[in-house]
């Protein structure tokens, strides 16, 4: 697998994006029908564009995506749904395609109507500038940003066992209101991720393939515990590579792209100064491992301890304890590590990081690092899970206390 710099602009794909007057508008377009899959928020208050996207994606193929930042178009009633449809119609008219071949997405403040005259103006400008260059993909990534401080983009090449070289790329946005609980669309500030590939991915497999990638990336990220009304992941596979099937190398590459985008989101979290990874192993079941990992990553007390560099490791085991995971607290092992230091806090139920101990001193050093790994061994089975999180400090409070004012 080789990392490239093309973002979503792979063979047969064009993109672009513009920003103006507090809004952004991005378009991604395939030159041929693409087998597609979507995953959407589990929030009961689902934004209008997701309702429209679910309808359009039900046919199994899409040509592209039109997305705006600056307004979530959520909790906007029938007018919001009509505005989402109008976004598709306006983009389709500029692109010469059927409106129902487009997914539509929005991100921004909830409960406010879209500025449709401005949206249409931005669609016109964007559609006239679509291009296959990496710069155009980056323009699309910038256009969907809200409180993000940097665009999020990656692409990779991999070779299938049958010999064809295929490419997978993606752009994403998200810095707050991130605790995605994405579910298949056919059965959070918001997280949006748009993935493209020039591989042919069979329609009867594409949902399973996307679900695997999402479950080990976006669905294990926790910034603030808030699941957005607008979370959406779209995968478009246009088949330009000429392959007839995909194998494990494709899945591995897609998983990598999704994980890297998820990490970029957490590392760019609102006001954050640290990124941490929670690895839970030795669990009786995958569900137990996942429950414990997500609880630790989502704990405000763990997050604030990380922000302050305080080695208050009791908060970690407390979070695991209330997570719902089944385990014996008297049997666990816990350590935290940075790039150059590892602190063993608990070993098979025995506390090592006592006041004045060398391990507690090491823990204090680890907690001051920008990237930290928390490893909890439940010593009760063979299952494991990972979650990504960030610290929580003054910057997050300031951004979100002033978001609409």
Q: Mind telling me the catalytic residues?
A: 190
Looking at the DSSP assignment, which residues form a beta bridge with residue 131? Answer: 15
Handedness of CA 35, 206, 250, 67 (dihedral sign): positive
For residues 311 and 294, give the distance between their C-alpha atoms in angstroms, rounded to a whole number.
Answer: 20
DSSP, collapsed to helix, strand or coil, labels residue 22 as coil
For residues 281 and 380, give the distance between their C-alpha atoms in angstroms, rounded to a whole number.
Answer: 9
Tokens 């990972």 appear where?
386
For residues 213 and 201, give the distance between their C-alpha atoms in angstroms, rounded to a whole number.
Answer: 14
Q: Where are the alpha helices (DSSP H) in 166-247?
A: 203-215
Distances in whole angstroms, Cα of residue 67 to Cα of each of 23, 78, 152: 11, 19, 15
Distances in whole angstroms, Cα of residue 276 to Cα of each of 289, 309, 395: 17, 12, 17
For residues 386 and 146, give the distance between their C-alpha atoms in angstroms, rounded to a whole number.
Answer: 27
For residues 300 and 187, give the distance between their C-alpha atoms in angstroms, rounded to a whole number.
Answer: 33
Q: Using CB atoms within 10 A of its CB, is residue 312 exposed (0-12), middle (13-18) or buried (19+)?
A: middle
Structure-token pair, residue 295: 């609880």
Structure-token pair, residue 169: 């790329």
Contact 199, 209 (CB under 8 A): no
Round the CA-based radius of gyration of the chain to a whole number and report it: 22
For residues 136 and 130, give the distance between their C-alpha atoms in angstroms, rounded to a whole number.
Answer: 7
Per DSSP, the residues of 359-374 read HHHHHHHHTTSSEEEE
């Amino acid at each position: 697998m080789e990392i490239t710099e093309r973002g979503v602009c792979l063979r047969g794909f064009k993109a672009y994006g513009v920003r103006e007057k507090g809004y952004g508008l991005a378009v991604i377009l395939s030159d041929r029908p693409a087998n597609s899959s979507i995953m959407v928020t589990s929030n009961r208050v689902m934004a209008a564009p997701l309702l429209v996207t679910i309808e359009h994606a039900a046919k199994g193929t899409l040509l592209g995506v039109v997305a705006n930042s600056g307004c979530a178009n959520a909790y906007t009633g029938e007018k919001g749904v009509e505005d989402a449809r109008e976004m598709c119609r306006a983009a389709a008219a500029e692109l010469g395609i059927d409106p129902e071949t487009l997914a539509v997405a929005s991100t921004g403040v909830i409960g406010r109507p879209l500025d449709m005259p401005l949206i249409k103006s931005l669609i016109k400008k964007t559609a006239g500038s679509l291009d296959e260059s990496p710069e155009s993909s980056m323009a699309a990534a910038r256009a969907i940003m809200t409180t993000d401080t940097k665009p999020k983009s990656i692409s990779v090449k991999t070779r299938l066992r049958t010999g064809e070289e295929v490419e997978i790329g993606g752009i994403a946005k998200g810095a707050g209101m991130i605790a995605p609980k994405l579910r298949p669309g056919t059965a959070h500030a918001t997280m949006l991720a748009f993935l493209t590939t020039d591989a042919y991915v069979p329609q009867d497999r594409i949902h399973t393939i996307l679900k695997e990638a999402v479950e080990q990336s976006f669905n294990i990220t926790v910034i603030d515990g808030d699941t957005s009304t607008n979370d959406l992941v779209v995968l478009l596979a246009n088949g330009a590579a000429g392959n007839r099937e995909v194998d494990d190398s494709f899945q591995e590459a897609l998983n990598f792209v999704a994980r890297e985008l998820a990490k970029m989101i957490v590392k760019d979290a609102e006001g954050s100064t640290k990124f941490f990874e929670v690895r839970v192993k030795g669990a009786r079941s995958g569900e137990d491992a996942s429950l414990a990992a997500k609880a630790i990553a989502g704990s405000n007390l763990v997050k604030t301890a990380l922000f302050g560099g305080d080695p208050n490791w009791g908060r970690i085991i407390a979070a695991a304890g209330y997570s719902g995971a089944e385990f014996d607290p008297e049997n666990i092992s816990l350590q935290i590590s940075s790039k150059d230091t590892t602190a063993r806090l608990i070993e098979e139920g025995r506390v090592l990081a006592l006041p004045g101990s060398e391990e507690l001193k090491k823990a204090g050093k680890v907690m001051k690092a920008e990237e930290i790994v928390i490893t909890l061994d439940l010593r009760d089975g063979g299952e494991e899970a990972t979650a990504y999180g960030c610290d929580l400090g003054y910057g997050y409070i300031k951004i979100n206390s002033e978001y609409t004012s």
